[in-house]
Amino acid sequence: MSGISVFRSPIFLFFLLLILFFSCATRREIVRLKNQADFLEQSNKRLEKRTARLDSLIREQIDLSNRLRADLATTLGGMEDRMGIVESKLEDLSHRFPELSRKMEQVKRQISTKKDTTKSSDTSAVMMNIDPKQLYDVAYLDLTKGNYDLAITGFSNYLKYFPETDQAANAQYWLGECYYAKKNYTRAAIEFHKVLEDYSTGTKVPSALYKLGLSLLELKSINQANKYFEELITNYPNTQEAKLAKEKLKKLKERKKR
């Protein structure tokens, strides 16, 4: 009886409950720790996968960067070669044009000296000793520099003494451009029209038609200008000048409606 009373005593029951409580708490803690460990393991695996993908992307970026640097080096090398060629040509031209200018000045002085004492046939002989290309190049150089009067003289002499050369049509066109730049639109229209008359199969015809139309617009001859613009569009529809002529006609029509 005394043994049974011990098991039933409050103190024994308290210790028994305490042991059971700690036993349950320990199991719950073990389960919680296990869950945390599993979660950390899964997180670590995901992190490893992301790190692997990041490493792969970094390697790809490095490879791409290396290829781009190689392509850039190749491109720059090619550009340097082309720049060297251009610089060489520019240097050659810088030496050439002064020489051409000096020769042209000598010709001008010869013509001026013999003007009053030499017959026209003698002057022609002097001009025939000049290289046509040099005469053309000097006149074109004067045009690019804005020396329009000198360019007009050069191109006029070229057309006078070398009217049958391949550059004659260009010389005639640039003569018109000189007068257009000087705002002498009447003379410009005359010179551009000569391109159509004398060099109708040349490559400068579309440009001459367009600039002739512009010259006539400046002279307020709108109907005549429209005629040449329409001729340009009809006969040379695929040229840049035809596109510009269409835009001009469109603006003129819009202005007329107003």
For residue 120, being part of any structural domain is answered with no
Handedness of CA 53, 55, 56, 61 (dihedral sign): positive
Q: In angstroms, rounded to a whole number, what is the distance separating the alpha carbons of residues 123 and 157? A: 11
For residue 21, being part of any structural domain is answered with no
For residue 67, being part of any structural domain is answered with no
- In the chain the first and final C-alpha atoms are separated, in Å, by 128
Q: Please say if the pLDDT value at position 73 is more than 50.
A: yes
For residue 60, being part of any structural domain is answered with no
Residue 125 confidence class, pLDDT cut points 50, 70, 90: very low
Is the pLDDT higher at 30 or at 133? 133
252: helix, strand or coil:
helix
Q: Please say if the pLDDT value at position 157 is more than 90.
A: yes
Q: In which domain, by residue range, is 200 found? A: 131-257
In CATH, what number is assigned to the domain containing residue 221? 1.25.40.10
Of 8-17, 119-128, 165-174, 190-199, the poorest mean pLDDT is in 119-128
Burial of 161 (0-12, 13-18, 19+ CB in 10 A): middle
Domain tally, the chain: 1
Residue 141's nearest CA partner among 154, 123, 130 is 154
For residue 87, being part of any structural domain is answered with no
Residue 66 confidence class, pLDDT cut points 50, 70, 90: confident
For residue 225, being part of any structural domain is answered with yes
CB atoms within 10 A of CB 257: 5
| Predicted pLDDT of residue 113 | 56
For residue 153, being part of any structural domain is answered with yes
Q: Identify residue 172 by its one-letter amino acid code.
A: Q
Residue 106 confidence class, pLDDT cut points 50, 70, 90: low
For residue 237, being part of any structural domain is answered with yes
| Predicted pLDDT of residue 213 | 95
Q: Is there a contact between 91 and 132 (Cβ–Cβ < 8 Å)?
A: no
Residue 181 confidence class, pLDDT cut points 50, 70, 90: very high
Q: Is there a contact between 132 and 162 (Cβ–Cβ < 8 Å)?
A: yes
Burial of 159 (0-12, 13-18, 19+ CB in 10 A): buried
What's the whole-number mean pLDDT along residues 18-29? 67
16: helix, strand or coil:
helix
Residue 121 confidence class, pLDDT cut points 50, 70, 90: very low
Beta strands in 94-206 (DSSP E): none
